[in-house]
Amino acid sequence: MKVLVINCGSSSAKFELIDMTNEQSLAKGNCERIGIANPIFSYKNLLTGEKIDKMEVPMENHTVAVELILKTLQDEKIGVISSVDEIDSIGHRIVHGGEYYEKSVIVDDEVIKNLEEIAPLAPLHNPAHIMGIKVVQKLLPGKKNVVVFDTAFHQTMPGKAYMYPYPYEDYTDLKVRKYGFHGTSHRYVSEVAREMLGKEDSKIIVCHLGNGASISAVQNGKVVDTSMGMTPLAGVMMGTRTGDVDPASVIYIMRKRGLSLDEMNTRMNKQSGILGIFGESSDFRDLDTARREGNERAVLAYEMFCYRIQLYIGAYVAAMNGVDAIAFTGGIGENSVGAKQHICEALSYFGIELDKEKNEQRLPGNVELSTKNSKVKIYKIETAEELVIARDTYKLTKE
């Protein structure tokens, strides 16, 4: 059984085809800049290594993009299937499920209706996801579609964690609350960490660190708290996002600079974080290089990023009254030797000790990085969000 995983953004469509008989990824790629100038298509056959590297190709809308994906998957030279009949089902990544969904579900008319209703909670993401589902339904009629939510794994949070102290009617009328994101990654990584720990009764802190970053406290397989909020803007400092700030500072900046709501939203989501402080790039690799060269703003941005992660780890140790393991994942969490070391050095009070030599070896796969004397296990775990989506899709549609 083969599952096609689709992640549609407003101008993009990432995809991966996975054979669920052995969970082998067959091909993956990305359609970028759909409907705007200079659209780009990338593709890689993971069986042969053959690839299309950022080829410019007309893609005026998502229908054309998905048609290109299906055509390439069936291509005689670089394709991996002979016909779309080999695609058994399609799994869609959905950023926001609101309070409707605690788990993945098969798409039907009610699901579409609910997604459209909560679209204002994720205006940059959910409308694009809905469009992607409808395009796939049109091009692959009769195939079952499954939606897998970034928010679902976090729905186990208790009210004391997810509620905001606004007037209560803002929750009942507007559904203003913490939802959390990166749920598929937190779910996968925490499950792997539990297996590596070898105990079901566990307290795990997952640090998903990339251009977008979030922290979660997972106790006995269920989320106790997570750093992102009603939107992915909250929590730790990120590549271009502020993370947590004083809400009054937002009003102050808007008034002083004469900014509109949309302009301030752009400033907080796309011009802040590492980019805002460093000033040259939002890429952590560029930041790390500049830091080691002595760039003062790079040093400041680097220290701010690590410091805010340390604060959340400390808070989540308190939230769970202990911690058995800290798992690092995501582009920065998996690959940045310096960030892991910097973060862990300030956590020695909790008995957290990183094996610096092992950390610097950059070992592939899922690796324990704590010393023998560390009271808390430290893991580097490679996330697999597409596999989580494929697994849920297979489970719901295999019968």
The residues annotated with a catalytic role in the active site are 150
DSSP 224-292: EEES--SSTTSSS--SS---S--HHHHHHHHHHHT--HHHHHHHHHHS-HHHHHHSS-S-HHHHHHHHH
Strand bridging mode 367-368 / 377-380: antiparallel
Q: Provide the sign of the torsion angle of the four alpha carbons 134, 135, 139, 144, taken in this order.
A: negative
Backbone angles phi, psi at 207, to 5 degrees: -110, 100
For residues 150 and 121, what is the distance between their CA atoms, to the nearest angstrom?
A: 13
For residues 317 and 224, what is the distance between their CA atoms, to the nearest angstrom?
A: 11
Q: How many CB atoms lie within 10 A of CB 224?
A: 20
SS3 of residue 302 by DSSP: helix
Length of the chain equals 399
Strand bridging mode 51-56 / 40-45: antiparallel
**C-alpha closest to that of 226 among 315, 93, 303, 306:** 315
For residues 110 and 186, what is the distance between their CA atoms, to the nearest angstrom?
A: 27
Strand bridging mode 377-380 / 325-329: parallel
For residues 204 and 193, what is the distance between their CA atoms, to the nearest angstrom?
A: 8
Q: Are 157 and 225 in contact (CB under 8 A)?
A: yes
